[in-house]
Amino acid sequence: MGARCAKRRRHQEGDKPCLAHFSVIRSIGRGAFGKVCIVQHRSSHKLYAMKYMSKERCIRQNMADNVLKELSIVTTLDHPFIVNLQSSFQDARYMYIVSDLLLGGDLRFHLNQHGIFREDRSKLYLCEIALAVDYLHSRSIVHRDIKPDNIILDEKGHAHLTDFNLATRLEPDKLATSFSGTRVYMAPELFSTCNGSTPGYDHRIDWYSLGATLHEMLRGRPPHQLPSSLNSHQVLMIQHESPLELPSEWSSDLISFVSLLLAFSPQSRLSSLDSIKKHPYCTRIDFAWIQSRRAAPSFVPSQHCLNCDPMYEIEERVVVSTPIHDRRGRGRKSSKGASSEVETAALEALSTSFIEYKRITHE
C-alpha cells in the first residue's frame, strides 16, 4: 500500500494534468451540470479552484458547445484582473477546469452583506475591471455578462472578472446577434437586436454593463428594474425614457461619468479605456499604478471565513459526503439508462474537441 501511495505522489512536471495530481479540500459552489471545489496540487501544495462538469449533462442540456467555446477563449487569457485558467483535462465522464483560487467572495455576496459600497472602493473595482475589459476587447473578445456576480475579490481585495460562458470572439467588421446576458445589465442594443431594429451589437455592450454594475455598487440596485414580463420594446422604452435617479450629493463628475457609461446610444457612451481615462472623473487616476496591483484596496475580505453563502456548504455535506476521487472511480451508470447512439457519438465528439491545457508550473 505504501509503495502504491508513493507511486501516486511521484508526478513528473512534464505529465499531462489529471485528477490524481490534486487533493480535494472542499466544495464551494455548484451549477446545473458541475461543481466547484478547492483543490491542492500534490507536488507544489498550491491551492486552486477546480470546476468539474458532467459530459453527459452538458450534452443533454445542449451546453457542450458553450463549454468548448468558453475553453477556447480562456486558454488565451492572462491578465492580473481576470480569473485565469491554469489547466484543463478530462476523463471518460467529466471535464475539469482548474483556475486561480480567489477566496474574497464575489461582489454580489458583498453587496448583500453591505448594501452599497463607498465611492473609493467602487472606483477601484471599476478601474481594475475596466483594465480587464480593455484587455479582452484588444483580443476581440466581448464578455457579455459583466455584473457583480461575475467579479470576484482576491485575498487582498483586488477585483477579477470571471465566467466566460457567454463570451464571444468577434470577427473583424462583424456584429454579434445572439441575445446573451443578464437582463438588468444588458445594453439597449441587445434588445434592439432582439426585436430586429438594429442588425447587431459590438464590444460597447460591456461598458454599459460595467456602468450598470458601478450604479449598483453605489446605489444598491441596477439602473432599471426590468422584469421578465416585459418584452424588448418595453425594455427599450424604459431604458430610453426613464431618467437615471442619481443622488444630488454626488459630484458633477461622477454623475456625468455614470450617465455616459449608461448612455442609451452606443455612439454617445464611454466605450473604451481611453475615453474613461479622459473623463474628468478619472483624469487623475494612474492606471499603470492600478495595473501593477500597487493600489491598496480600501476593503480587505475576511480571511477567517468563506466569503460566500454558507448554505451551499451545508447542503453539499448533506447531499454528498463521498470525496470526488471516489465518485469519479465508481463507473456509475446513467440514471436514465444506457446512452443512445446519438449521445454516445456526441460524447465522443465532445471528448475529441475538448482542449487539454497546462499553464501550471511548479518549481
CATH number, domain at 177?
A: 1.10.510.10
**Of 239, 262, 291, which marks where a domain is finished?**
291
Are residue 127 and residue 163 in the same domain, yes or no?
A: yes
Q: Per-residue confidence at 256, pLDDT binned at 50, 70, 90?
A: very high
Are residue 213 and residue 275 in the same domain, yes or no?
A: yes
Are residue 195 and residue 310 in the same domain, yes or no?
A: no
Are residue 50 and residue 74 in the same domain, yes or no?
A: yes
- pLDDT for 308 equals 72
Q: Per-residue confidence at 322, pLDDT binned at 50, 70, 90?
A: very low
Average pLDDT over residues 192-213: 97
Dig out the grid coordinates for 309 from the structure: 453563502
Are residue 63 and residue 44 in the same domain, yes or no?
A: yes
- pLDDT for 14 equals 55
Higher model confidence: residue 74 or residue 305?
74
CA distance 80 to 145: 19
pTM recorded for the entire structure:
0.88
The verdict on residue 1 lying in a domain is no
The total number of structural domains in the chain stands at: 2
The dihedral through the CA atoms of 287, 292, 295, 298 has a sign that is: positive
* Residue of 163, 149, 160, 146 whose CA lies nearest to 80: 160
User: Percent of the chain beyond pLDDT 90?
Assistant: 77
CB 99 within 8 A of CB 77: no
Average pLDDT over residues 121-133: 98
Identify the CATH number of the domain in which residue 75 sits.
Answer: 3.30.200.20
Higher model confidence: residue 190 or residue 9?
190
Q: What are residue 185's phi and psi, to 5 degrees?
A: -110, 5
The verdict on residue 2 lying in a domain is no
Are residue 122 and residue 188 in the same domain, yes or no?
A: yes
Which of 106, 145, 163, 206 is catalytic? The answer is 145
Are residue 116 and residue 131 in the same domain, yes or no?
A: yes
User: Exposed, middle or buried, 129 (CB in 10 Å: 0-12/13-18/19+)?
Assistant: buried
Q: Is there a catalytic annotation at residue 206?
A: no
Judged against a pLDDT cut of 70, whether residue 289 lies above it is answered with yes
Domain that holds residue 159: 107-291
The verdict on residue 266 lying in a domain is yes
Are residue 31 and residue 68 in the same domain, yes or no?
A: yes
Are residue 132 and residue 166 in the same domain, yes or no?
A: yes
* Residue of 298, 6, 246 whose CA lies nearest to 127: 298
Are residue 119 and residue 199 in the same domain, yes or no?
A: yes
Are residue 264 and residue 318 in the same domain, yes or no?
A: no
Are residue 52 and residue 124 in the same domain, yes or no?
A: no
CA distance 210 to 325: 39
**Of 245, 268, 291, which marks where a domain is finished?**
291
**Of 291, 322, 346, which marks where a domain is finished?**
291
CB 270 within 8 A of CB 204: no
Helix axes 204-219, 252-261, angle to 10 degrees: 140
